[in-house]
Amino acid sequence: MMKYSLQQLLLDIFFPSYCPHCQKAIPGRLLLCEACDRELYAPRFWKPDEESGSHLDGIFRFYHYEGGIKAALHGLKYSKREEYLSRIGEEVLFHRKDLPAFLQDSSAVFALIPTDPTRRAERGYDIPEAIFEPLCRALDLPKKSLLTRTRATRPQYGLSRQERQENMAECFAVADGVPAPATVILGDDICTTRSTLESAAGTLKKAGVKRIYGLVLASGHD
């Protein structure tokens, strides 16, 4: 039976949600309309080539970084579209049936890629946290603040691959007094060149973490 409460029905009538891409009114509190979801939802697990010097044991993404996903992240980053915060988390939770096996590793600890503190303060919210909070709660996945930022970084948007790597190099440190877990799942919003995930994973491997997986809302890979 579909869980659709009277409260939700009234919310839909008086405060409808709109798809960030096609602006269609959508029922419930998901992020995308059905058509946009069908077009963009592309769950994929892959293992980066070891010859590329990757520190990651695998990456899972939910969506293509296009259309409504791109519009929602852009809106959250640059236009304070706070109405997307809870909906983006609900959208990820909605797709939990397709999750990768690494999320069932009982020794795994979930850690967010820390947002640049200045940008987080400007926005008043944290985007990766909003994306994964409902999922972590539903899976009972322990969350730890494992990483901190050692310095400010520029926004990655518009930078070349090499500039991104330089921008993110050595920008993370393991938080004081946190023992290294055997397996860490790193949560972030987007993965394009992997520079951010690799920088964080390199820091964690040096600290003794054995296995590191990336969990991202969207990526530009096919």
- Chain residues binding Zn ion by CB under 5 A are 19, 21-22, 33, 36
Closer residue to Zn ion in complex, CB, 24/149 = 24
Closer residue to Zn ion in complex, CB, 38/151 = 38
- The amino acid sitting at 84 is Y
| Token pair in block for residue 134 | 């409902």
Residues sharing a CB contact under 8 Å with residue 59, sequence separation 6 or more, in sequence order: 45, 46, 47, 48, 191, 194, 197, 213, 214, 215, 216, 219
SS3 130: helix
In contact, 141 and 135? CB cutoff 8 Å: yes
Q: Could you report how far apart the first and last alpha carbons of the chain are, in Å?
A: 35
Closer residue to Zn ion in complex, CB, 75/100 = 75
Taking the complex as a whole, the smallest distance from the CB of residue 93 to Zn ion amounts, in Å, to 19
In contact, 93 and 135? CB cutoff 8 Å: yes
Q: Which helix (H) or strand (E) holds 45?
A: strand 41-46
- For residues 23 and 13, give the distance between their C-alpha atoms in angstroms, rounded to a whole number: 16
Taking the complex as a whole, the smallest distance from the CB of residue 27 to Zn ion amounts, in Å, to 13
Taking the complex as a whole, the smallest distance from the CB of residue 9 to Zn ion amounts, in Å, to 21
In this structure, what DSSP letter does residue 51 have?
Answer: G
Taking the complex as a whole, the smallest distance from the CB of residue 71 to Zn ion amounts, in Å, to 9
Closer residue to Zn ion in complex, CB, 88/197 = 88
Taking the complex as a whole, the smallest distance from the CB of residue 22 to Zn ion amounts, in Å, to 3
Closer residue to Zn ion in complex, CB, 33/131 = 33
Residues sharing a CB contact under 8 Å with residue 167, sequence separation 6 or more, in sequence order: 153, 154, 156, 159, 195
Closer residue to Zn ion in complex, CB, 42/103 = 42
Taking the complex as a whole, the smallest distance from the CB of residue 38 to Zn ion amounts, in Å, to 10
Longest dimension (CA), the chain: 55
